[in-house]
Structures are given as structure tokens and as C-alpha cells.
Structure 1
Amino acid sequence: MKGYFRKRGSYWSFTVDIGRKTDGSRNQKTKGGFRTKREAEQACAELITQLTKGDYLEPSKKTVQEAMEAWLNTILQSTLRISTYDNYSKAIVKRIIPALGKLKLKDVHSDHIQSFYLALVKEGLSSEYIRYLHSILKSFFTYQMRLQNITKNVVELAIPPRIGRKEQRTWSINEAVRFLEVAKEDTQSYYIVYLLALYTGLRRGEILSLRWKDCDLNQGKISVCQTLYYSNQQFHFLEPKTSRSNRLVSIPDTVVEILKTYRLKQEKHKREMGSAYEDYDLIAANEIGQPINPRSLTGHFRRMIQKASVPKIRFHDTRHTHATILLKLGEHVKIVSERLGHSNAAMTMNVYSHVTSDMQKEAAKKFEIALRAEGK
């Protein structure tokens, strides 16, 4: 078994005879697109080795779009939680398929993937999002290898952009207080959400799914055991993001008293609404008892920021504000990690390294002062 080489235009190709077909005609494998004869010879030798050992797989003729849609609608839909599936679906339909969908699986090279990443960088997309797409592609091509549609995962040869360190945008204590004072004079259900966000560091979905039965107001503790997710105008109560997200979070007496007062007002509203109120036992609910729509919350949050004249931040940054303030007050990083539901303290240290670096400076100053005092 040997190969035959020829140059067509600027590229080399090779053909290998692998026997006869059932009708007696020659059975050949031809591959092209090599820049040099040496590349063609190497690829030919690799193919002959695979054929000899019986390891050769006939490349799939499916396009990336055909294979990816099948993967999305069968494997992913049945294995991922709805929030993760929706995010995967949006990324695949809006980003990956338009860029790579027309290519056949067998024709995809690492250069295609790398060019895709470069185009996204030029478009201004964040490194975090591009690496997210990278993880989806890597998982997809790994699955195609399992199906024996391809022989190698070309995504592993592509290099996504490095994630640079981003400075967290947070409020100071005074700014957080000013925001809450302004929000308190507005819609109470939203105020309660902001109060819990800043005093506990809970995620948005965790607060919006919080029920009264999850709160032990006598002990001043909140049990985080579910999260809210909106999809196609429907809300879903899901398990928390990770096992560590299931946690107990302590709240101070001030928050306990505010919640008690708010609960009495909510109970009165329920009686006034009667059967029109859909009681999900939610702490933060709209006028008819349903969960607050995250988009509505975002819009209200932005209006309150403008009204309070505080720096513009995302709702998720209230979580960063909570953690940053605690760390600056000298709270142990393990306690902060537990409150946030991080997998471990190392993750918290990494996310809030900008705060801990300032604490390092303070520690160095304290040490210096202590030694000088002892030396006098």
C-alpha cells in the first residue's frame, strides 16, 4: 500500500489505493489541501498506518450545523438544567453556527477555530465569553470523537484569549446606605430584594426564590435551597448553582425586624387580594404573588441608582459589594466564602484579590508598627 502525490495549483494532494470495491473497481482515498509535498507525505503515511492497523475511521459528511443541532436537541436537552441549556442554545445558534455551521466536520481545522476567536475579539466580545464558547466547542468535538465522526479534537489545538484581571465595581458603605435609603421610599418588594442582596451577598435568583419557610427569623438565619430562572415567559424554581450554594446565611437583627414588619404588610395585602393572589410563599413577590421578573428588577435597580446618585453597577455587583465590605472590615475569608456559597476559600481569594492585596499592605504596616514599638 502506497500513496501517489500530485500538485494542483498551489496545493498538494495524495491518493492511496486500499483495494477493490464490491463491483471490482479500485477503492481509493484522496486528500488534498497541503501546502507542501512534505505535509502531504506525512498525512499519507499517517493514513496508511491507520489503514494497516485497522484504526481508520471514515470521516463524517455531516456539517457542523447538522451535528451540532442534533447534539443540542438530544444530548444537551436531556442532560443539562434548563438555565444551562438555554445559555448553550443561544451561544450555539447566535454565534457558533453562523461562523462554522457550513463546514463539514471532517474539514474543520484549528485555524478555523482560531480565526473564529479572533473575529470575536475584534467584535469586542469579552475573553470570558469567548472562553465559554471554547468550552462548548471542545465538548461538542469530544462528543463527535466518541461517535467516531472525527478522529481528533481540533479545538484542543486552538488557544482562546487569556482572561485579564478585572477590577470589581462595588459601592462603599456610605453609597450602599444611601441607595437603600432611597429605595426604601419606593416599592417595598424591590427594597426587600436590595436589602437582602447587600446584607447577605445572595445571588439574584436565590433572593427572588426565597420563601418565608426558608427564613428562621427567631434565629436570624436564611436557608438558601433554590434559585429562580425565567425562560420563555415562564419561571422555574431550580436547585442552586452548586452543592456549596446550599447554605445557611445569618442576617442581623436590623434585617430581621424589617422582614417581620414587611411580612405583616404582605399578609394584609394577601387578604385584600383574596383568590387573585398566587401564594408561592415568596418573600419578594409581585402584586399577585408571582416571582418578580428579573428584567423588571434590573430596570427598577437602574432607576434607583440614578435617583440615589451612586455609581452605576450591575445587580450582581451588590454581591461583590457585600464581600468587599466584609473583607475590608477584617472578616475571615473562609466566613465570606461560606456566605457567598463559593466552592472554597481559594476561589474567594482569587475573586477578591484586589481587596486582599490592600489588606496585605495594612498587615505589613501593622507588623512594622509592632516591631518599632517593641524596639523603643
Structure 2
Amino acid sequence: MGYIEPRGKNSYRLNVVIGYKEDGNKLYERQTVTAKSPTEARKKLTLFEAEVLNGQYSKPENIRLNEFYKEWLEKYANEPSNLSPDTRQNYISILKERILPNYGHMKLADIKTIHIVNFVNDLKKDGKRLDGKEGKLSSSTIRNCYRAFDNILSRAVEWKFIKENPADTVKLPKPKSKKSEVYNVDELRQIFSLLESYPLHWKILITLAITTGARQGEIAALEWKHINTDKHTVLIEQALTEVIGEGVRLKSTKNDRNRIVSFPESLSKMLKTLKARRNEETLAIKDIQDETWKDHYFIFANEFGKPVRPDSIGQWWSRFITKNKVKKIRFHDLRHTSATVLINEGIHAKVISERLGHADISTTMNIYGHVLAEADQAAASHFDTFLENKANK
């Protein structure tokens, strides 16, 4: 038999009787939890009582990281609202491959800040890559590994297994800003010229990437309902991602930022042509469409309505530039190309930030600070004409 005790705002102590002392007093197993109401607390009591009575409950001070990982996976990571599919997959991979093999045997209470410091410092050494390639891990990869460790320990604090997170005060290597390769205007003209001999859907896909700055997964997830050919705009509100063991799945955009982005009028004409073709194809095979995606009408899909896999876009792009001996840049760098062209044309950073779907303008400034600085210097040089004229008078 168990009962709950209020311990403060949204805090309750769960009490379960597990036996009696020699003097007749009850023996308890207790756990403090967070709950929005007594009703929610009683539901947690029921689960707690079942764990205790079935011998599945481990006292917080004794539970090891390996055991807690199962709790984290079931009660946090597997809840779609907590982590995006990409982040979930990334954290699980890091925990399984880098963290649990070294720290899984340790009790949560025994994991100290120095262990996290040692973990981060060890990642900086040679030979820590898991892909077999030479070289050190990038600072961003190290930060991601830290975030996975920090996340599981934060849940341990939240669920009262430990009092504080030993990862909180660890200093991380500063991410090194890497200048992305982009195309200049002449190189873009070459790209568009080459695309004239390729299927219309690839011409449209690459044009969308360059003119809107949309991400690979966002382009793959575009449906015809997102296109307004009268106003020449596209609504970007979802993305496709590949989840190991599950296949391609829809998710929200990065930062959950939906946005409407304008594109050139000439692209609207191409889209109208492609849609007419797609409508004919859909009518011809409407009885054998892919059931998984029957409620969606993707722009870039096969004849059965199945959307293109996001990674296949990058693979096609790599083959395209190799075959045509074009300067090699990643497909993602078309996004950087789009931003760079707009900056050089004098478009305000706030507008560019909105088009790219950045959380705030500071993200845009951090990524494209060097391009903005170059554009600013070019702008200042325009005043030389006035100053030279004045000096000659």
C-alpha cells in the first residue's frame, strides 16, 4: 500500500510500504517526483509501487549509468516531443559507442566533474574518430558528445537521482568557424546552363536550393500545397529525415521555424509545368500509390508518391558536379551560396536570417560575419570617388 505527500510546488514524495520492523513500525521505499497535480502524482505512485514490489526498483544512490540509460531511453529519448529524430539518433549513438563503454559501470552518484573533463580531453586526442579516417575530432563533434552526456545527466538531476549535474561547469573547446566554399555569380551561371540538359525536377530542385537557401531535408519534404505560383513563394514548415530502423520520417524544421520564402517568377513557370506532369502520373497510378505517404503530395517523389530520400539529393549533386567538372562544394553549401549572393547584393542581414530560418539574426552574423565584413568594405570603397574628387579641388 502506498501514498503521496506534497513536498512543495509540483513536488511529491511517493511512499510504498515494503515491510515492518521488529517493533511493528513500517518500512518504506520512498521517491520524490515532479507532478503537476495530485492525480498525476498518484499515477506515478502506481508505477513506482509496481517497480518496488516486482523488485525492479533501484535506489537512486545505487543505480548505475547503464541502468539509468534504459530509463532515459524509455521515458525521455523515445518521447518525440523531447528530441528531434536526428538528435535522438545522434545521442543514442554517442552514448552507446563513447560513453557507456567507459562510464556505464559507474554509479550516477560517483560520476564527478573530473570524469566529464577527462572524457572531453580524451576526445581531443588522435585516433578518436569512429569512421576509420585519420585526424582529430572537430570541436563541433566534441561538443555534440558532451551534449549527449550532459543530457542524460540533466535527466538524472530532474528525476532526483543526483543533486547536481557534474557536467555543468565543464569548459568546451570553442567551435572553429570554417569558411564554406561557395559559388560566385559566373559559376552559378555555369550551373544553371548545365541543368538545362537534365530532367526538369532536378533543375527545379537545385534552383530552389540556390534561390531559397532551404536545407536538404526541407527541400525533400516540400509538397505542392507549400507552393504559391501566383505569389512566387514557398512555405517551409517540415523536413524529411532518415531514422535508423524506421526509414524516412517527417519532422518539423530546425528550430521549429516555419517561414515563407520568395523565389524568382521564372521558377513558378517551371513548377507549373512539373505539376501538370505529376498530376497526369498520379491519375495513371492512383490505385497503386505508396500507402505510407497517401496523405501527402510531394514535389520530389517517385511515380508512386514516395518522397526522395534527403541523402540521395546530396549523392546526386556529388555525381553532377563530378561529371561536369564543376568546382566541388557540398550540396549544403548551396545554402551558403544563396546567403552570400544576397549579402553581396546588399540585402539586409535580417531578411537573410528570415529566409534561412535561423533562430535569430546573431546566428546569421556568426556564420556569415566574414562575408558581411567584405561586403561592408566594398560598400565603403564607393565613397572613395567622392573623397578623391574633394581632394582634387
Q: Distance in 1 between matches of 2:288 and 2:199?
A: 20
Deviation string 1:134-180 (CA, Å, 9 cap, x unpaired) is 22322322322233333332212322211112112212222233234
Tell whether 2:107 aligns with 1:104.
yes
Q: Distance in 2 between matches of 1:353 and 1:81?
A: 28
Q: Distance in 2 between matches of 1:319 and 1:197?
A: 6
Match of 2:7 in 1: none
Q: Do the aligned residues in 2 keep the contact of 1:172 with 1:325 (CA within 8 Å)?
A: yes
Match of 1:94 in 2: 97
Would the alpha carbon gap of residues 369 and 345 (structure 1) be closer, same or farther in structure 2, given more than 3 Å must change? Answer: farther
Q: Do the aligned residues in 1 keep the contact of 2:182 with 2:329 (CA within 8 Å)?
A: yes
1:150-229 to structure 2, matched below 5 A, reads 150-229=162-241
Tell whether 2:241 aligns with 1:241.
no
Match of 2:25 in 1: none
AA at the equivalent of 1:333? A
Q: Distance in 2 between matches of 1:284 and 1:184?
A: 18
Match of 1:353 in 2: 369
Would the alpha carbon gap of residues 233 and 75 (structure 1) be closer, same or farther in structure 2, given more than 3 Å must change? Answer: closer
Q: Do the aligned residues in 2 keep the contact of 1:192 with 1:284 (CA within 8 Å)?
A: no
> How far 1:373 moved relative to its partner?
2.7
Match of 1:115 in 2: 118
Of stretches 153-162 and 176-185 in structure 1, the one that deviates more from structure 2 is: 176-185
> How far 1:352 moved relative to its partner?
0.3
In the alignment, structure 1 segments of 5+ residues that lack a partner are: 1-21, 24-57
> How far 1:344 moved relative to its partner?
2.3
Tell whether 2:77 aligns with 1:76.
yes
Q: Distance in 1 between matches of 2:174 and 2:253?
A: 29
Q: Do the aligned residues in 2 keep the contact of 1:182 with 1:307 (CA within 8 Å)?
A: no
> How far 1:327 moved relative to its partner?
0.5
Would the alpha carbon gap of residues 70 and 187 (structure 1) be closer, same or farther in structure 2, given more than 3 Å must change? Answer: farther
Deviation string 1:289-317 (CA, Å, 9 cap, x unpaired) is 21101232222111001022222222211
AA at the equivalent of 2:346? G
Match of 1:373 in 2: 389
Match of 2:11 in 1: none
Structure whose residues are more often helix by fraction: 1
Q: Distance in 2 between matches of 1:69 and 1:162?
A: 32
AA at the equivalent of 2:382? K
Would the alpha carbon gap of residues 149 and 165 (structure 1) be closer, same or farther in structure 2, given more than 3 Å must change? Answer: same
Q: Do the aligned residues in 1 keep the contact of 2:235 with 2:261 (CA within 8 Å)?
A: yes
Q: Distance in 1 between matches of 2:98 and 2:343?
A: 39
AA at the equivalent of 2:351? I
> How far 1:335 moved relative to its partner?
1.4
Q: Distance in 2 between matches of 1:230 and 1:159?
A: 32
2:282 aligned counterpart, secondary structure: helix
Would the alpha carbon gap of residues 184 and 118 (structure 1) be closer, same or farther in structure 2, given more than 3 Å must change? Answer: farther
Tell whether 2:360 aligns with 1:344.
yes
Match of 1:31 in 2: none
1:1-16 to structure 2, matched below 5 A, reads none
Q: Distance in 2 between matches of 1:179 and 1:233?
A: 35
Match of 1:328 in 2: 344
> How far 1:187 moved relative to its partner?
4.1
Structure index of larger Rg: 1
Q: 1:318 aligns with which of 318, 334, 338?
A: 334
Match of 1:260 in 2: 272
1:327 aligned counterpart, secondary structure: helix
Count of aligned residue pairs for this structure pair: 320
2:77 aligned counterpart, secondary structure: helix
Q: Distance in 2 between matches of 1:373 and 1:72?
A: 70
2:106 aligned counterpart, secondary structure: coil
Q: Do the aligned residues in 1 keep the contact of 2:226 with 2:234 (CA within 8 Å)?
A: yes
Q: Name the % identity.
A: 30
Would the alpha carbon gap of residues 345 and 139 (structure 1) be closer, same or farther in structure 2, given more than 3 Å must change? Answer: same
- What value does the CA root-mean-square deviation take over the aligned residues? 2.3
Q: Distance in 2 between matches of 1:137 and 1:269?
A: 49
Q: Distance in 1 between matches of 2:212 and 2:364?
A: 15
**Normalised by the size of structure 1, how large is the TM-score?**
0.78
Q: Distance in 2 between matches of 1:362 and 1:157?
A: 43
In the alignment, structure 2 segments of 5+ residues that lack a partner are: 1-20, 23-58, 129-135
Of stretches 280-289 and 146-155 in structure 1, the one that deviates more from structure 2 is: 146-155
Tell whether 2:322 aligns with 1:306.
yes
> How far 1:98 moved relative to its partner?
2.4
Q: Distance in 2 between matches of 1:155 and 1:178?
A: 50
2:69 aligned counterpart, secondary structure: helix
